[in-house]
Amino acid sequence: MQREQPQTIPENVVENPAETRPNSSFIGHSRFSKRLSRFGRECLTSIIAPLSAGLVLMAPDATAQDSLINFNNSVFGTSRLVTDSFGKPLVGTNWVAELFLDTSTGLLTVSGPGSGLFSAAGAGTPGAWSGGTRLLEKVSFGQTSQVEVRVWDLSLFSTYEAALQAGGVTGTSGLFNYSFTPSSPLAAADSWMKNFPSIRLTDQPALPPLIESIRHSEPQEGDELKIQPVVTGGTPPLRA
């Protein structure tokens, strides 16, 4: 008598799906993992890793809250212009305005966008310089600082101090308060120099020279005290 052979079930056929079917979420995860080739995983990693790193690098520093300041007087129309010694709005590309920040160590130049030069006659706005929005380093949002605008003839003097010492035509706003408190959303007027006054240039007299008396080096016994004048600043004295 011939014995019956046991029936074999193909590997790709499930005898009782209801009993052997695992959790559907597990199937999704398992199939995704099996079908994702090593190449695919490497590609996915190469995309995600830089993005994650970028998010960390691009995150803003919580302490980085340096104030902004719009170094322009044109935003006030014609009410706060720079005028010459006769009261006429200043023109000429030889004139320059520079912004300074008052600190514990003295006045520091605030550099940034804009040349600070005035327009030529017949071009631009007379009495207004070419400025831009600049950064006040280490001045936090809402903190009140003091700034100053100085004007001089750049074609004759490289700095305001040189023009002042030589008796050149100069002008200054003097120190005035400034505070940057951004609104939400940010408005253009938030960074305006609201306390900036108009400036009128003046022809200042040259600063007097500072004369220091020094003793002659290596005096010998019995020598009289020799005094030598030394000019350390201002306009040199006229010689006969």
Query: Do the bridges between strand 82-83 and strand 199-200 make them parallel or antiparallel, or are there none, so unpaired?
Result: parallel
**3-state class (DSSP) for residue 67:** strand
**What are the tokens at 219?**
């005096």
Query: With contact defined as beta carbons under 8 Å apart, do 182 and 140 qualify?
Result: no
Is 70's pLDDT higher than 60?
yes
**What's the pLDDT tens digit per position in 89-140?**
999 999 999 999 999 999 999 999 999 999 999 988 999 999 999 999 999 9
**What are the tokens at 152?**
């001089």
Rg (CA), the chain: 38
* pLDDT the model gives residue 65: 82
Q: Distance (Å, rounded) from C-alpha 193 to C-alpha 117?
A: 18
Give the residue among 148, 149, 146 at the shortest CA–CA distance from 118.
149
Q: In the structure, what pLDDT confidence band is assigned to residue 62 with cuts at 50, 70 and 90?
A: very low
Q: DSSP secondary-structure letter at 236?
A: P
> What is the pLDDT of the chain when averaged over all its residues?
75
* pLDDT the model gives residue 219: 54
Burial class (CB in 10 A: 0-12, 13-18, 19+), 15: exposed
pTM, to two decimals: 0.61
